[in-house]
Chains A and B, each alone.
Chain A
Amino acid sequence: MKMTFTGKFGVALTTLGLLSTLAVTAAGASATLNGDLTFTAADAASSINPAMGGSSFDEPFFNQAIPTYMTEASKVSGSNAPSAMSLYSPVGSTSGKKGVVAGTYAVGASDVPLGTTVNGTSLDSSILTGADAAHKLGSYIQVPVVLGGVGLMYNLPSLNSKFKKYPVTLNSSILASVYDGKITSWNDKAICKINPKIVNVKKNKKGKITSSKCALPNIPVVPVYRADGSGTSFIFMDYLQKTQGANFATSSGTQIYPSTTFQQGQVPGNGLGAQKNAGVAADVEQTVGAIGYVEYSYILLQHTLPSALIVNAHGQKVALNSASIAADAAAFAATPPSEDANGVVSNFSIVNGTGAGDYPIAGYSWAIVRQDWNGLGTVGGATANLQSETLVAKFLDWVVQGGKLGGQNVAKGQGYVPLPAYVVTVAQKQIASMSYNATKLVLN
């Protein structure tokens, strides 16, 4: 009796699985690859559980995507599906890159592609030091996995009730001055000027306006920044440099440490450093007058504070949301990110786009994986074999899929924006180039 039930249920699940595979195929941009959720008994027998870690920008995504993938795979492959994939460790972008190079992570995630050069200096010169394959940029594939925006979260309780409808608007020059320590008070002229709605209006008896005064409080601006090296900082700094180049032209140093760029190491004296996206959000929440940059999902999912409208290249005041981030990514369709034969990724920056309704501070996060696992011993704690490499390829392939059952749908629920079709194509091309012992992986 029980057996029959399981059997029928299994068939139903398999049918559902097939349908879902079809759905994914239909939604995917490329016909050569689509979400592969099939695992055989041989896969299940080889005990594969490769570890992943890196950018905290991606944490809400991966930690939802990994269990979802296992669930989806079990619908298709039953007990052969991976059931013990470990969760993602949000150790930071640089640690993600170090981890994948050292082989402690199978997937290292970073908001800045491995091997990126800023102002003539490679960010990863001290990671990619050796002459062996592990230290050669060309040994890795880099896959854009999520698209996210960086929000400017602020804590001004005095505006909460009366001006709830009018979030504070900021532009790049104000942001640069705030993080430079040149603007020190919230009712600074420059901030008041672009927030004409946030005013206390006095009217006479006839209803005529006699005075209107900036209602932004006269309290210090407390810039909160990332004290650790950070990909989120990179995106934010990239934006400030592209828009306020003259003020932010640094001759040396890396953009992952904001303090390097702010006044040659002198962050404002009242600035607060915090660890990871969650730390910045927590510091802003605890400090009246604070402003900090965090990934959209942290604003959306965990916190109740508003984020500022940002003036984009068209002069529009744009709120941070999925549509405005998507508009920004769409503006770069003509120059898709690409990885050359040496492994260098170009055109990955999508800050300050020129689209209409474009939220200008956004970026992709990248999954970095060894292209060929043959002879690697262990990768991310798992034995480096065809099964474990294929699992990672299948997982990433599912991650970049749109549609109802693809990984990008999970991303949507977590405050990210589904990858635009032109970027999915780039990602799939990368995944398709993975091989084991120089033989291309087979993904259904």
Chain B
Amino acid sequence: MNKLTLPAKRSDVAERIHRSATSDRPYTLLLRGTALFFGAVIILFVWSVVHTAWPAVTTFGYHLITGSAWVSGSGPYGALPLLTDTVLTTAIALVIAVPVGLAAALTLLFLIPRRLRSFAASLIELLAAVPSVVYGLWGLWYLTPWLSKTVQPFLARLTGGSWPFNGAQEGFSVLLAGLVLSIMILPTIVAISRDVIGVVPRELIEGGLSLGATQSQVLLKVVLPAARTGIFGAIALGAGRALGETIAVAMVIGSNPQLPHSLFSTGATLASTIATQFGEATGTTGSALAALALMLMVITASVNFGARVLTKRATAPL
């Protein structure tokens, strides 16, 4: 009856598990059922998004991706500006968060007194516990005026107003969205890179030091390269979060779906557009928004999948 196959020569423990399997039947069924249920939920979920998006996909085809104008209500529905802004804001977030995050991870592991480590780490992890709408409000109330009055004029003066620091200085911009995102993804990058750097073999570090390398040489040339696969994974997980972040971005990016002409230009990402427009959308607009959701799902799923593979490889015991 039981389909659980075991090696011919059973150990005592395996024998006992096998014997108790019959009485455990309801339990195993429950476990399998739960797993299957959530599998089914995901499949139904994807199906419903595809189903809603389908009319738009068949009507507009590839123009949904390549079209450069997004106009709710009447169309056209071209997601190119949204895709560009999504990638751009994520890129800005990574440019800021990756160096800071790696530095923080190295500091937490090697550079501060042991008794301060867990406290400092929990402070950074606390950033992950802040709800994204709070980041949005903070961005709207405090960073917008700071950017428009201080940062943007400074950057424009520094570069003589040349690209990419040209255009209206309104605060609301892809730059601000990237800045807010960088803080939001920082805990992800710090936590995971700390884990993967933590498993770098001690011998490597000691070897480096015994060869006369300085501390910074060891950290930059031994530790980081040894952990690079895992670090890429951490970056990819951070990127996954940035790509899909919705409400904080919607509050600071200016919700103006256009191809960015500079870092100061307002924009709209896939996620922020869905959030701002879905409630009031009907008919074709609703379907086109579902198509955006589909694109976002494909992008974040592949980034997360890649990240998972990389981190798994990195933290696996040698």
Contacts and interface: CB of A to CB of B under 8 A. Distances in A.
* A and B together in one complex: yes
Interface of A: 91-95, 98, 124-127, 220, 222, 227-230, 252-254, 256-257, 259-260, 264-267, 269-275, 279, 282-283, 286-288, 290
Q: Which of A125, A126, A257, A286 has the most CB of B within 10 A?
A: A286
B299 interface: no
A286 B146 CA distance: 10
A272 B279 contact: no
B268 interface: yes
Interface stretch (B69-77, B187-195, B206-214): B69-77
Nearest to A255: B73
Interface in B117-144: 140-141, 144
B277 interface: yes
Contacts, number: 112
B178 interface: no
Interface in B245-267: 250-251, 254-258, 261, 265-266
B268 A256 contact: no
B170 A270 contact: yes
B250 A283 contact: no
B250 A275 contact: yes
B283 A126 contact: yes
B266 to A, nearest CB: 6
Contacts of A286: 140-141, 144-145, 148, 171-172
B66 interface: no
Interface of A is mostly: loop
Contact of A270 (B70, B257, B266): B266
B71 A260 contact: yes
B198 interface: no
Contacts of B28: none
Given A98-B282, A265-B76, A275 B172 contact: no
Contacts of A95: 279-280
A92 B278 CA distance: 11
Given A92-B279, A267-B256, A273-B256, A222 B148 contact: no
A222 B256 CA distance: 12
A254 B266 contact: no
B68 to A, nearest CB: 10
A287 B144 contact: yes
B282 A126 contact: yes
Contact of B71 (A92, A93, A257, A288): A257
Nearest to B267: A273
B282 A260 contact: no
Nearest to A257: B73
A100 to B, nearest CB: 14
Contacts of B171: 286-287
B276 interface: yes
Given A272-B266, A286-B140, A286-B145, A260 B168 contact: no
Contacts of B91: none
Contacts of B148: 286-288
A99 B282 CA distance: 12
Contacts of B76: 265
10 contacts: A220-B168, A228-B276, A228-B277, A252-B74, A253-B74, A254-B74, A269-B265, A272-B254, A286-B141, A287-B170
Nearest to B258: A269
Contacts of A230: 280
A98 B279 CA distance: 10
Contacts of A228: 276-277, 279-280
Given A94-B282, A229-B281, A269-B258, A260 B73 contact: yes
B146 to A, nearest CB: 10
Interface string B88-109: 0000000000000000000000
B73 A253 contact: yes
B306 interface: no
A259 B144 contact: no
A256 B140 CA distance: 25
A273 B255 contact: yes
Nearest to A251: B74
A127 B279 contact: no
Given A271-B266, A273-B268, 20 more contacts: A92-B279, A95-B279, A227-B256, A227-B268, A227-B277, A228-B276, A253-B73, A256-B73, A256-B280, A265-B74, A266-B69, A269-B168, A269-B265, A274-B255, A275-B250, A275-B276, A286-B145, A286-B148, A286-B172, A290-B170
